[in-house]
């Protein structure tokens, strides 16, 4: 998810090769916390233009994570934010998934009309959680905000479903000047609530699965062009192979 904010140049990040830190010492896993109804601490990582982690004094004290909902589809922009969580210079942000599920459940929708995707049973409703950050503005800067698995390097997306269901299908994506690819979805939702979707690159496809094992999410903040993002790493690898 993109966010426009503004800050001194020290908070800008450009292209960088970044190794995400291992998730350790943060207590319950996301899945365990959701099952117990307890908050979970998710590490936060921000990087500068050289690929080094930003020093604490370069991070805005008022930095906050914003969460919105994209009802019934995977792309687009979120509507009105349903949560704003202070991060500041902390190394993690705490998510109370039980409390958040109450807020996002009213913003779900049936699958947006798409002949390429199917959901069973019909009538199941879901929303993608849109992520952003906010801090006091001084000059414009565009940042991307999302989750990356610290063990695999794969992209993670947080979804909410209102009932057990299965969503499958293939979406063809063609952008002028870029390699065409497909998004292949196979999400098996065993119960109502939040589900992590992992995106794995298997050229020329992106395979979108629901995770059967506990992910290790890191909330990552970087410019859209940064090579911290899996799509940029894969693009660079593809060029190197040619």
What's the pLDDT tens digit per position in 187-209? 999 999 999 999 988 767 788 88
Strand partners, 160: 127, 194
Whether residue 11 lies inside any domain: the answer is yes
Range of the domain at 19: 2-236
Residue of 27 and 182 predicted with greater confidence: 182
Is 83 exposed, middle or buried, given 0-12, 13-18 or 19+ CB atoms closer than 10 A?
A: middle
Considering only the C-alpha atoms of the chain, give the largest distance between any 2 of them, rounded to a whole number of Å: 50
| Span 215-226, average pLDDT | 87
Nearest Cα to Cα of residue 156 among 189, 196, 97: 196
Domain assignment present for 34: yes
Look at residue 89 and tell me if it is in a domain.
yes
- Name the nearest CA neighbour of 217 among 114, 131, 116, 110: 131
Residue 101 lies in a domain: yes
What's the confidence (pLDDT) of residue 101? 92
φ, ψ at 70 (rounded to 5°): -110, 100
pLDDT at 236: 45
Domain count, the chain: 1
Mean pLDDT, range 39-47, rounded to an integer: 89
CA torsion, ordered 155, 13, 93, 192, to nearest 10 deg: -30
Domain assignment present for residue 125? The answer is yes
Q: Do the domain assignments include residue 242?
A: no
Residue 241 maps to a domain: no
Tens digits of residue pLDDT in 80-90: 899 999 999 99
pLDDT top residue among 153 and 13: 153
Domain-embedded: residue 135? yes
Mean pLDDT across the stretch 142-171? 92
């Amino acid at each position: 998810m993109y966010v426009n904010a503004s800050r001194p140049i020290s908070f800008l990040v450009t292209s960088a090769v970044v190794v995400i830190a291992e998730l350790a010492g943060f207590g319950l896993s996301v899945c365990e916390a959701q099952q117990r109804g307890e908050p979970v601490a998710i590490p936060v990582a921000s990087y500068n233009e050289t690929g080094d982690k930003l020093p604490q004094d370069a991070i805005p004290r008022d930095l906050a994570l914003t969460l919105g909902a994209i009802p019934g589809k995977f792309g687009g922009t979120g509507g009105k934010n349903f949560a704003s969580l202070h991060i500041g210079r902390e190394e993690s942000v705490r998510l109370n998934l039980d409390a958040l599920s109450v807020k996002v459940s009213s913003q779900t929708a049936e699958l947006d009309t798409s002949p390429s995707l199917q959901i069973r049973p019909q009538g199941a409703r879901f929303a993608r959680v849109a992520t952003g950050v906010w801090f006091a503005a001084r000059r414009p800067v565009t940042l991307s905000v999302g989750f990356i698995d610290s063990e695999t390097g794969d992209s993670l997306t947080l979804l909410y479903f209102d009932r057990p269901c299965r969503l499958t299908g293939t979406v063809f994506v063609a952008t002028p000047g870029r390699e065409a690819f497909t998004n292949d979805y196979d999400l098996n939702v065993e119960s109502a609530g939040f589900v992590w979707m992992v995106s794995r690159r298997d050229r020329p496809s992106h395979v979108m699965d629901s995770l059967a094992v506990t992910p290790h999410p890191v909330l990552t903040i970087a410019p859209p062009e940064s090579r911290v993002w899996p799509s940029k790493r894969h693009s660079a690898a593809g060029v190197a192979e040619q």
